[in-house]
Structure 1
Amino acid sequence: MSVSFPVSVRRLSAVAVAAASCVGAMALPASAAGPRHDAHRDQVAIGGVHSRSDRSLNGEWVEIRNNGRGDVNLSGWTLSDSQGHTYTFRRFWLDDRSTVRVHTGFGRDSSRDLYQNLRRAVWDERDTATLRDNRGRFIDATSWGYGRNDRSDDNRSHRNDRDDHHRDGGRRH
């Protein structure tokens, strides 16, 4: 004995299945967007700092490193010091497993070097460099010149302040 369904029931079932597939496909990118941001927190970091160069303002820089396997859009991200000087990344993608140096002085931007085009030094002998994404969320910070084991080389007491930053309520420096 066979049971037959009217054509309209079969059509409604097919439409319902197709609609559920579309809703599921549209929801997937939205749910995938959350974890991707968290991946930037571990993927992108401040790699080093060279402050107060006697040679030129271009000898003063902060290095941003992409440790991940995917390119990261840094457009709208900010790099700031403890006095509130802020550099905003304009249309810039950081390739996977690469670095870019943000120089204080003047120059022509490239995939390896960006320039703030400033006439005065930004990074002091004691300072903190803070990196935030385009929504102002904390990504990484590095401080130097505050410890008793300070060295006077390019990366003075380079340390990651991610935990300290969360303790102070995520305030901007």
Structure 2
Amino acid sequence: MSASSAARRLTAIALAAGSLVAAAALPASADQDRDPDRQRVVISDVQYNAPGPDNRSNRSLNGEWVNITNRSRQSVDLRGWTLRNSEGDRYTFRHLRLNGRSTVTVHTGFGRDTRHDVYQDRREHVWDNRSDRATLTNRRGAVVDTESWGRGRGHDRDRGDNRDRGDNRGNDRGDNRGNDRDRGDRGDRQR
């Protein structure tokens, strides 16, 4: 066998081995590419019933908020991600890189955006006190996380990991966030 023939044979073997390794690795990387954000970024808390009267003051509007938490160590670029309610009202993140193990609070009213607080700049409440769903979607349009309250009680998740989020979620909260009967006109407000 000549040297060039041996070199061609070794090259062919190396290419075949590389193809096998690449094919074996494809399902794992494809799975990660499909939903890499699902386990990293979550809706960690929702204050849908702002304390005090719903008088549409900026203080009242900013009293309702949604926390978005990055549970991973790596930062996540949230540019182009959206947060929406069940009626389709949508907030789109502009230039925000959420550091690892960090939380950003999305307020309904007006304010100055920082790394830890962003504002939707709305003049009306977004989250329904009785029943609503917050949905976080990445820039590719994939649902990353949801949080629901009201009908059906508690929260339900589209992620399917059924992790326990503590006793302060949903309508059976012990604090005033989910307790409409102590609020007078609060229970009558739909939006």
> In structure 1, what is the Cα distance between the partners aligned to 2:65 and 2:80?
19
Equivalent runs, 1:4-43 vs 2, <5 Å:
5-13=1-9, 15-16=11-12, 19=15, 32-35=29-32, 37-43=34-40
The answer to whether the 8 A contact 1:52-1:121 is kept is: no
Q: Where do 4+ consecutive residues of structure 1 move more than 4 Å?
A: 17-31
Q: CA deviation at 1:18?
A: 6.3
Q: Which residue of 2 aligns with 1:95?
A: 99
Q: CA deviation at 1:101?
A: 0.6
C-alpha RMSD of the superposition:
3.0
Give the letter for the 2:147 counterpart.
T
Q: CA deviation at 1:22?
A: 7.3
> In structure 2, what is the Cα distance between the partners aligned to 1:71 and 1:42?
13
Q: CA deviation at 1:36?
A: 5.0
The answer to whether structure 1 residue 104 and structure 2 residue 100 are counterparts is no
**Shift in CA distance, 96/14, structure 1 to aligned 2, threshold 3 Å:** same
Normalising by structure 1, we get a TM-score of 0.69
The answer to whether the 8 A contact 2:35-2:142 is kept is: no
Normalising by structure 2, we get a TM-score of 0.64
1:103-137 deviations in Å (ceiling 9; x for gaps):
11222222111111212211121221111222222
Q: CA deviation at 1:92?
A: 2.4
Q: CA deviation at 1:61?
A: 0.9
**SS at 2:146 equivalent:** strand
Q: Which residue of 2 aligns with 1:115?
A: 119
Residue of 54, 79, 83 corresponding to 1:75: 79
The answer to whether the 8 A contact 2:77-2:98 is kept is: yes
**Shift in CA distance, 112/25, structure 1 to aligned 2, threshold 3 Å:** farther
The answer to whether structure 1 residue 139 and structure 2 residue 140 are counterparts is no
> In structure 2, what is the Cα distance between the partners aligned to 1:78 and 1:84?
11
Bigger mean CA offset, 141-150 vs 89-98:
141-150
Give the letter for the 2:116 counterpart.
R
Q: Among all aligned residue pairs of Structure 1 and Structure 2, give the percentage whose two residues are the same amino acid.
A: 43
Which segments of 5 or more consecutive residues in structure 1 lack a partner in the other structure? 158-173
**Shift in CA distance, 78/32, structure 1 to aligned 2, threshold 3 Å:** same
> In structure 1, what is the Cα distance between the partners aligned to 2:93 and 2:20?
35
> In structure 1, what is the Cα distance between the partners aligned to 2:79 and 2:27?
20
**SS at 1:42 equivalent:** coil
